[in-house]
Amino acid sequence: MTMIITLIAAAVTFGTVLMYGTLGEILTEKSGNLNLGVEGIMYMGGAFGLFGAFYYEKAAGAAASGPLAIIIAILSALMAGMAASLIYSFITVTLRANQNVTGLALSIFGTGIGQFVGEYMRVREGGYVALSNNLKNAFSATIFPDFMVKIPVVGQILFSHTVFFYLAVVLAIIMFLFLKKTKYGMYLTAVGESPAVSDAAGINITLYKYLATVIGGGISAIGGMVYIMTTAGCVWNHEGLSGVGWLAVALVIFCIWRPLNAIWGSVLFGAMMIMYLRVTIPFIPTEIYKILPYIVTVIVLIFTSMKNSRDKQPPASLGLNYFREER
Amino acid sequence: MSEVRTPLFRLAKREAMSREKIWAIRVGSIIIALILGCIPIMLTGNNPISAYAVIVQGSVSRPIYIRQTVKIAIPLLGCALAIAPCFKMRFWNIGAEGQITMGAVAATFFALNFAKTIPSPLLLAIMFITAATAGGLWALIPAFFKAKWNTNETLFTLMMNYIAIGIVAWLQGGPWEGRKGSQLIPMFDDAARLPEVFRVHCGWIIVLLLVVLMYFYMNKTKQGFEIAVIGDSVNTARYAGMNVGWIIMRTMFISGAISGIVGFMIVSGANYTLYKGVANGVGFTSITVAWLSQLNSFAMIAISAMLAILEKGSNTLQTRLQVPASIADIITGILLFSMLASEFFINYKLIFRGRDKKEVNA
Amino acid sequence: MDTKYAIEMKGITKRFGQVVANDSINLTIKRGEILALLGENGSGKTTLMNMLSGIYQPDEGEIYKDGKLIYIHSPREAYEHGIGMIHQHYKLIEVFTAAQNILLGLDEKMDIKGANLKVKEICERYGFDIEPTTKVYDMSVSQKQTVEIVKVLYRGAEILILDEPTAVLTPQETDTLFEVLRNMKKDGKAIVIITHKLNEVMEVSDKVAVLRKGEYIGTVETRNTNPQALTDMMVGHSVALNINRPLYENPHKKLVVENLTCVDEEGIKKLDNVSFIANTGEILGVAGISGSGQKELLEAIAGLYPVKNGSIRVVDDKDNETELVGKTPRKIREAGVGMAFVPEDRLGMGLVGSMGMTGNMLLRSWKNGKGAFLKKKEPENLANRVMEELEVVTPSIDFPVRRLSGGNVQKVLVGREISNEPSVLMTAYAVRGLDINTSYTIYNLLTEQKMKGAAVVYVGEDLDVLLELADRILVLCGGRVSGIVDARTTTKEEVGLMMTQIGEDVDE
């Protein structure tokens, strides 16, 4: 029992990272932009998030406040992700370059920047860059009072997580409501399904694509920051972060582009990624667990295309650029 | 359809542009990228010009540097060649990373098990062939589903990468692990290592051969013609009597096979062992190489050489000037962005309001 | 009832480059009335109405609404004036519900529940049969059309324009649509239907306005006219084109089509029991309103469209018959049938736009020869020959054909198709968009092939050309053969009438 509870807690920790990456990419893909730069964006988010928090603490010294450090880390990551996606949007939406290639270029660029910032800080600060324990705890503490966490079973499962997890859940719900219940969410979906129809209906395609991609990139970047500040323990760790962005892209497919699915989907993926540390299933080598997320994603992909169920398809214009005169 | 409220300018597809102008734009975009690349260099407190000088020196100034640069360029070029036919067909294969990995797995299997029993040339030949087959079959999976159910190939091939890498991770820590607990696969015996020519593993000969072969394949063969027709219009291909699904699968097999060969060259020529990072992003970077070369085999040599110089030179930069080696990725990224953006000015033109009154409606 | 005109168009002229699509047209539309806008393909009907719906702006002329001069710059502005158009290609998001599609692009606050109610109310008032919560991908074509109509009504349109609304509907669906139109008329809406189907005009309209080749011919009250008179207005008098039409001695049968039936993906019959014979040494013209099954007929013969029923056989000189049904284009060629096909979509189907002439010549012969390599010598020679003989204007035989002018593109395509002496040559709208000179070049090439003994099937839209170029004319209507006539003795009126009705079994 305790093992399952610790497994769930650990799955949520890693799943939170994925949830941001995925929610951001869902928003982006809803506009028809397939941004394969998530890996790079999350690197940038991680590096700049740490950068922001570290220099805040350096400036504030002992007076540094946890909540403020968290806000600064979120904002730094957000800005970094938004800047990166702005480059992507400009090249694909305005200049109409191939989305796959641009996304991959962003991945290369972003991992480079992330690494660069990480190393730059290390060199500048002459070695180890980490937050004080005080702030570290702020990042990994839960927002619920102690007695709630201590409720048997439920406390650990529901109330023991970091503020980032609850924020991500709220974000997923907001995104769900935005896409389902608001006019602008509906317009965004329409843009991703058929830019031509949306254009004819008088919707500003370019604006929607830019906004969704830039905000989406910002959200994804927060995921990178969350990884560095929680799982990695407030130290730059590029090896741990590598591949997380791609996993987020897989999760988008697994969630069939629905934000609410991302909540449980990310915890499930998180569980599959960390399961090898805690669970052994006979005959299945633990290393194989790590490819399970990709395998189930492939299966989802195959089944939705075989059944051709229209509700579960990628946004119809995903990966294609829109050019009005081509009608 | 005419514009509703005539904006300041509108876009139109450009008809034709002279070759010189096109190349001027491309070269210009590289120069702009290098200028932009000065910014991160300056952030490290270094003089960009001397930094670029170090990059060039560190990659081509001495034979040993050149050899190392070539070693980096080989898989990039090989893999770009693999991707070209798929992209020509508008089949977005971004699974080269996994195809390299599976090729490497197959080659490693023979290297580990038969190095003592099979004579070296034969062993290498077997490794070559099985690597190609493994890479090809790995690529065939998404192609089959694309041909049959139109499953999104971009996402499918992407997923296949990580499945392949995961398999290697398992092999590394499991069945093929050398010393228990090392998480490492043993180094290959000499018999399973590619011989060197001019002190670089002979993969460079294979790749250059592939450049020529791919050029002929794409431009002179029936299959290359089929690929080009499908890339232009699937309807025309059907009209001309082509079996589109079959051609997609065949092309993906060939593409995966070449990536598989690249995987073989990496394990047998450079690393002498297999680990999960064997492809090391080559499968992704080579996509940009292929695309920016306009899928032209010979142009790929130049672009992959350029990226290899950047990477090798940046390592030197790190040791000499303490600039993080990741500067290579940053400048590569800027370079790619800049070149991607420049294509816009080759393909489109801006028509400003007031000019070009006559609008011919199709 | 208000007798003032809802819309009055005065002296409307619209040019596209050199082409005058609408030449100084006057038209009035009244409330509580259904106006049929009648004309052949390319007569400028849709262009004229697009100027009312804000898609185009007229080059000359004025539009008045209720006596007031207005300018319509966009579809949105058209809605503000109460004008809504239902286009032939529906503009719907497939994964959205009917109500969501209807709300798309509206300024008002989104209120799906309210919209559902309002949509329901509109549906009940006019007798539409859709549920606001149904997703578009679950809808039939006619339901999608209904969504488009409701969309327009929802935006408060009083003036509705429907572009060929019945083209995609079954007879029953057409009846329902007409019922709805009558209801809307009673409700005081002004309705325009663009059509070229005479029986429908007679059935549903109050007035008919006729356009011909971009010119306004006149408006008549439906009850004071008849199909014959309308046909005369629509097709006008025959124009002598002086196309050379020699007679071929000893024709024999070449292509036999029997009881051919084809069904599209949605289960709608595109060809219904089509039978005919095409002979050597003749041009068999195929006339019909666009979308009557011409495309499917040619593609079925070429092995590109699935055949549900029937037989297509090619007869050789020794009377041996080869069945084509069930064969792919490649199998047909391998069976030794010299089939040539100039499809309607030249760059999307017949040619590879990004390749030069040589590459496009290869499209027919790329499989030739042993080995893996392309044999480029022959296609190169052929490309040069076509370039010289058909006077194709191109910088070189390797210049991408996409960048050539329409006439030159067609010359490349036709040149290739006739190059290996086909025994069956099919062309779809071979002169569409071409200038006069190039058109004559094409006519001469086809006649040349005919005199060499080929069976030429010529799908055309200009009756004057069909009457002078073809030997016989097969008329299609709604996927069925409404008759085959001798082109030398028939009249334009006779063919025109056959195009709009199927032999005896016209509605009512």
Q: Is the pLDDT of residue C87 over 70?
A: yes
Give phi and psi for B243, each to the nearest 5.
Answer: -90, 95
With CA atoms as reference, the chain B residue closest to C395 would be B16
- Chains in touch with A (3+ beta-carbon pairs under 8 Å) read B, C
Compute the count of residue pairs across chains A and C with CB atoms less than 8 Å apart: 53
Contact C204, C172 (CB under 8 A): no
Contact between B132 and B103 (Cβ < 8 Å):
yes
In the predicted model, is pLDDT for residue B8 greater than 70? Answer: no
DSSP character at residue C223: G
* pLDDT exceeds 50 at position C470: yes
Q: What is the mean predicted confidence (pLDDT) over B115-144?
A: 95
Q: What is the pLDDT of residue C406?
A: 81
pTM across the whole model: 0.87
Residue B359: pLDDT band with limits 50, 70, 90: very low
Residue B162 with chain A: CB contacts under 8 Å: 243, 246-247, 250, 291, 294
C 340-379 → B contacts, CB under 8 A? 341, 343, 345, 347-355, 359, 362-364, 366-367, 372-374, 376
* Chain C: touching chains (3 or more CB pairs < 8 Å): A, B
Angle at B317 between CA B313 and CA B322, to 5 degrees: 160
Residues on chain B touching A97 (C-beta within 8 angstroms):
340-341, 343-344
C94 contacts A310? CB cut-off 8 A: yes
Interchain CB distance below 8 Å, A311 and C94 = no
Q: Which residues of A touch B332 (CB under 8 A)?
A: 108-109, 112
Interface contact flag, B145 A285, Cβ < 8 Å: no
**Alpha-carbon span A53 to A65, nearest angstrom:** 10
Overall residue count recorded for chain A in this entry: 327
Q: If DSSP states are collapsed to H, E and C, what string results for C80-114?
A: HCCEEEECCCCCCCCCCEHHHHHHCCCCCCCCHHH
State mean pLDDT over C448-458: 93
| Chain C: closest CA distance from residue B96 (Å) | 26
CB A2 within 8 A of CB A8: no
DSSP output for C54-80: TSS--SEEEEEETTEEE---SHHHHHH
Task: At C458, list the tokens.
Answer: 């010529």
DSSP A102-115: HHHHHHHHHHHHHH
Contact C100 A186 (CB under 8 A): yes
Encoding tokens for residue C344?
């309607």
Percent of chain B clearing pLDDT 90 (strictly above) = 67
Instruction: Return d(Cα A187, Cα A167) in angstroms, integer.
Output: 25
- The pLDDT confidence band at residue C140, using thresholds 50, 70 and 90, is confident
> Out of A283-287, A293-297, C393-397, which region has the weakest mean confidence (pLDDT)?
A283-287
Whether residue B26 is predicted with pLDDT greater than 70 in this model: the reply is yes
Nearest to A291 among B155, B162, B329 (CB): B162
State whether residue B232 sits within 8 Å of chain C by CB: yes
Chain B residues with CB under 8 Å of C54 CB are: 4
Band the pLDDT of A207: cuts 50, 70, 90.
very high
The interface pTM score, or ipTM, of the predicted complex is 0.91
Q: Do A109 and B337 touch (CB under 8 A)?
A: yes
**DSSP assignment letter at B187:** P
| pLDDT at position B46 | 87
- Pairing type for strands C68-70 and C60-65 reads antiparallel
Average pLDDT, chain C: 87
CA–CA dist C260, B94 (Å, integer): 45
Question: Are the Cβ atoms of B228 and C74 closer than 8 angstroms?
Answer: no
Residues 236 to 275 of A: which have CB under 8 A from any B CB?
243, 246-247, 249-250, 253
Sketch the domain layout of chain A as residue ranges: 2-319
Listed in sequence order, the residues at least 6 apart from B219 whose beta carbon sits closer than 8 Å to its beta carbon are: none
Q: Under an 8 A CB cutoff, do B330 and A109 touch?
A: yes
End-to-end CA distance of chain C: 31
Q: For residue B83, what is the enclosing H or E element?
A: helix B63-88
C423 token code pair: 């025994």
Give the pLDDT of residue C239.
Answer: 67
**Percentage, residues of chain A above pLDDT 70:** 98
In chain C the domains, ranked by start, together with CATH numbers, are 5-235 (3.40.50.300), 238-338+421-508 (3.40.50.300), 348-420 (no CATH)
DSSP H or E run through C459: strand C455-459
Q: Of the spans A56-70, B244-258, C379-393, C394-408, which averages the highest pLDDT? A: B244-258
